[in-house]
Amino acid sequence: MREPLPSIATATRMRAGKLTDHPLWVISLMNDGGVIFADGIEQDFIAFDCGRRVHLSPALAIFQLTPDRTSETLQCKVES
């Protein structure tokens, strides 16, 4: 996880980290405009404004989207 723009205004103390086997709870204190995204594409986000909370932990399985070259769809593959 990351806080990409650390500044005096954000008062962030954590800019990056790794998840362990212990879940991490994060509670938003942002009045407006907080987002969560995981794939590097900020437009594909979940709103994370003040009072919202998220529980983060490592996935139990690997989820991978791969393009289907015969059509315009994505195939989903889950590995245990």
| Three-state secondary structure readout of 16-44 | ECCCCCCCEEEECCCCCCCEECCCCCCCC
Work out the mean pLDDT of the chain and round it to a whole number.
73
pLDDT at position 79 is 57
| Cα gap 34→3, rounded to integer Å | 11
Assess if residue 3 is contained within a domain.
Answer: no
Assess if residue 71 is contained within a domain.
Answer: yes
| Cα gap 42→68, rounded to integer Å | 24
- Average pLDDT on 46-50 reads 87
Assess if residue 34 is contained within a domain.
Answer: yes
Assess if residue 52 is contained within a domain.
Answer: yes
Q: Shortest CA distance to 30 belongs to which of 47, 55, 13, 8?
A: 47
Of residues 39 and 46, the one with the higher pLDDT is 46
Dihedral sign from CA coordinates of 63, 14, 25, 9? negative
48 has a pLDDT exceeding 70? yes
Assess if residue 33 is contained within a domain.
Answer: yes
Q: In terms of residue numbers, what domain contains 29?
A: 24-79
pLDDT at position 73 is 57
Assess if residue 12 is contained within a domain.
Answer: no
pTM of the full predicted structure?
Answer: 0.52
- Average pLDDT on 16-36 reads 83
